Amino acid sequence: MNHESQNPRPRGGAPLDVGSVDPDLRRAGTLDPALHFDPAAHARVLERVFVPSWQLLPVPEPGHVVEPFTLLDGGLDEPLVWIRDGGDERVLSNVCTHRGALLATCASNGKALRCAYHGRRFGLEGKMEACPGFDGALDFPRPEDDLAAVELRALGPLRFLSLSSGMAFDEWSRPLRVALAEFEGETFSFAPEASRAYDLDASWAVYCENYLEGFHIPFVHPGLNAGLDFGKYRVEIEGQTVNQLGFGSKGERCLRREEGLVAEYLWLYPNLMVNVYSWGISVNLVEPTGPGRCRVRYLRWVARPSLVETGVGSGLDQVELEDQAVVHSVQQGVRSRLYPGGRFSPEHEAGPHHFQRLLAADLSS
């Protein structure tokens, strides 16, 4: 008997080192479960993982010229503004370069951003155009008196941004581009009526790990399982992505990419899931909102309306609730002083293993 694993793990103390993950899946153990609830680990994840990441723009469809939003509300809490100015679009800091007041507070079709505190004004491209009270200021204005711009990229109906991109967008998103080729030449429409947001008492990483394995499908999702040929389920790992390919058991409409393929479950590091079905895509965006807490935004874009609610791309609310129940269960379990961490199934858990390896690399850098 391994007596060490019987001892309760200590809590609190120095900032957490969550450990490393053996590259050999057959030998690897999980990171320290405290990763999922420790405040120091949470703070480190935000800075090391989320600041350099590519994030889905959380405003799903254009509404106004000026759309203020908060990137990772409750996590990074970065105030930004999305500007659509004729054919151009950009994302700028929404923080006045004088003393830091927020600029736009609601969506509008204004022609400038004007600070309500002391009247500084910026053009829609971020250039400071007026600054009352600054006659006589020396070495002014400097480039940093304009609004900082954030890198913005588009792919299909989705837009992405990064505060300090640690990876080239084209490299990071390549598997998504391949998956979206299914709909080449077709038009997506955002479906607000099918979109949801859930606040969960579970870590964003626990949610991702559940998504990254199909191992649980026969146990947790009986309805979904009936539509899938589990023997053909396949996992493809590339760079910062994991793609799970689901093959149908009922002869439903397939994706063009491969005979029998009815769903692609594509995860992009760290927190984005794009599910590709014959009708279009559903997106799960998992946002950390605190140690052991997250928000899941569930967004849908439809390209082929006649196929919605057919095959394995139907009944998704039920599948989501089944997943949330196990995710909540795991979140309670990982806090146990008697749970030392687990092992990965060599047959089924290459996805969670890859995820934890990416996390460990960022957290130790």
State the residue number with the nearest CB to Fe ion. Answer: 323
Q: How far is the CB of 77 from ligand FES (least distance, A)?
A: 18
Distance, in Å, from the CA atom of 297 to the CA atom of 321, rounded to the nearest integer, reads 13
CB closer to ligand FES out of 98 and 348: 98
Phi, psi for 181 (deg, rounded to 5) = -60, -20
DSSP string, 65-78: SEEEEEETTTTT-E
Q: How far is the CB of 190 from Fe ion (least distance, A)?
A: 24
The residues with which 55 forms a beta bridge, in sequence order, are: 161
- Which option in ligand FES, Fe ion, none does residue 96 bind, with CB closer than 5 to 8 A by kind? ligand FES
Distance, in Å, from the CA atom of 176 to the CA atom of 160, rounded to the nearest integer, reads 12
- Which option in ligand FES, Fe ion, none does residue 323 bind, with CB closer than 5 to 8 A by kind? Fe ion
Q: How far is the CB of 93 from ligand FES (least distance, A)?
A: 12
CB closer to ligand FES out of 64 and 98: 98
CB closer to ligand FES out of 145 and 236: 145
The residues with which 80 forms a beta bridge, in sequence order, are: 69, 93
Neighbours of 178 (CB within 10 A): 15
- Which option in Fe ion, ligand FES, none does residue 335 bind, with CB closer than 5 to 8 A by kind? none
Short-list 217, 246, 212, CA closest to 353: 212
Binding site for Fe ion (CB under 5 A): 323
Neighbours of 270 (CB within 10 A): 22
Distance, in Å, from the CA atom of 65 to the CA atom of 235, rounded to the nearest integer, reads 41
Residue 346, helix vs strand vs coil: coil
Q: How far is the CB of 18 from Fe ion (least distance, A)?
A: 24
CB closer to ligand FES out of 120 and 300: 120
Binding site for ligand FES (CB under 6 A): 96, 98-99, 101, 115, 117-120
- Which option in Fe ion, ligand FES, none does residue 337 bind, with CB closer than 5 to 8 A by kind? none
Q: How far is the CB of 220 from Fe ion (least distance, A)?
A: 6
Distance, in Å, from the CA atom of 350 to the CA atom of 237, rounded to the nearest integer, reads 8
CB closer to ligand FES out of 119 and 192: 119
- Which option in Fe ion, ligand FES, none does residue 264 bind, with CB closer than 5 to 8 A by kind? none
